[in-house]
Amino acid sequence: MESLLKKELNTSTLKTTGHAGGGCISEGQTYETDHGRVFVKINHKNEARKMFDGELASLDAILKTNTVKVPKPIKVIDVSPGGAAFVMEHLDMRSLHRHSAKLGEQLADLHLHNLRLKQTLQKGEQTVGQGPGQSQLQHTDKFGFHTVTCCGFIPQVNDWHSDWVAFFTQHRIQHQLDLIEKDYGDQQARELWSELQLRIPELFQDVEVVPALLHGDLWGGNVAENEAGPIIFDPASFYGHSEFELAIAGMFGGFSGSFYSAYHKVIPKAPGFDKRLKFYQLFHYLNHWNHFGTGYRGSSLGVMRSLLK
Ligand SMILES: Nc1ncnc2c1ncn2[C@@H]1O[C@H](COP(=O)(O)OP(=O)(O)OP(=O)(O)O)[C@@H](O)[C@H]1O
């Protein structure tokens, strides 16, 4: 592995620093190189290349918005006998605490970036340059992403769609339920979903959804800070409804009141927010059921039942 990394990173120095960071999905390790410190995630699953290509594309897109700090992606490398390694900039991080409110503001700026690009285009202005070597993000009026991204290790269908409700229903909820059907053939899930589908339009009757670039997996374990401000990492980006981002944030803790008030100062809650948030959380419960097994069945079915009330 070391000789492969030396060759791929074009470095004669490659020293571990003792900083290791394993998540639920991959093994992580920081190395000193001729070009500075890098953080390398390694995963030996067959799907690792796809997963890391999606993470690289996500970090690249967020970086280009210049709104919230992410590690700079460097490259994805195939490793033998199977799997891949993802090399990115190493960032010293500590738990998010002092910069919670700043993360709220910056996340709202990330979510508004695509809309602001449109407003700039409408004014006929040139878009502002973002530094050498960084091409601009283009405005999109569709939902999706140019490549597959993985929330966990399950690939998400990101095919472009002009209708958010259709995109989310088919590519997110239905996709997860198809995997559950395949592995568990759960009759209750099937029945609840057939009832719930009829109720989806009413969840969206009071809101206009515009495509926003999302981190896509913003749970408490994927946010941190350094002296200068907040950091987010391990994204599974796509253009979607900004409210979707807050769904997983609310499921496992890690975000204080100051984060939410700063966010909603910029993007206020639209009517029907709370019920839609539950619908968006359903995706994450189902995704957890598919990743970690039936421990998440009860919560998945519970959310479906509460949405039917
Ligand atoms: N660029 C980085 N620089 C330094 N440390 C990092 C960097 N990226 C991640 N880490 C550390 O490694 C840990 C795991 O990273 P990450 O969440 O990306 O892994 P993962 O296996 O994809 O995780 P999970 O699916 O559990 O969220 C983080 O909690 C953090 O401590």
Tell how far the Cα of 234 is from the centroid of ligand 1, in angstroms: 7
Q: pTM of this prediction?
A: 0.94
Per-residue pLDDT, 75: 97
Report whether 307 contacts 275 (CB < 8 A).
yes
Quote the CA–CA distance of 288 and 42 in Å, as a whole number: 21
Ligand 1 atom 23, closest CA: 23
| Catalytic annotation, pick one of 186, 217, 234, 274 | 217
Backbone angles phi, psi at 146, to 5 degrees: -75, -5
Report whether 164 contacts 240 (CB < 8 A).
yes
Known catalytic residue: 217? yes
Per-residue pLDDT, 22: 67
Residue type, 282: L
Per-residue pLDDT, 102: 98
Choosing from 42, 60, 234 the residue with most ligand 1 atoms within 8 A of its CB, the one to mutate for a pocket test is 234
Encode pLDDT of 28-44 as tens digits: 999 999 999 999 999 99
Per-residue pLDDT, 80: 86
Of the candidate ranges 20-29, 41-50, 91-100, 248-257, the one whose mean pLDDT is the lowest: 20-29
Q: Is the CB of 222 under 6 A from ligand 1?
A: yes
Encode pLDDT of 124-148 as tens digits: 865 454 444 456 899 999 999 999 9
Tell how far the Cα of 28 is from the centroid of ligand 1, in angstroms: 7
In this structure, what token pair is assigned to residue 79?
A: 């490793």
pLDDT (average), residues 84-97: 97
Nearest partner of 166 among 177, 175, 179, judged by Cα = 175
Nearest partner of 236 among 132, 110, 148, 126, judged by Cα = 148
Q: Is the CB of 73 under 6 A from ligand 1?
A: no
Per-residue pLDDT, 129: 47
Q: Is the CB of 90 under 6 A from ligand 1?
A: yes
Tell how far the Cα of 22 is from the centroid of ligand 1, in angstroms: 6
Q: Is the pLDDT of residue 91 over 50?
A: yes
Which run of H or E residues covers position 17? strand 14-20
Encode pLDDT of 51-69 as tens digits: 999 999 999 999 999 999 9
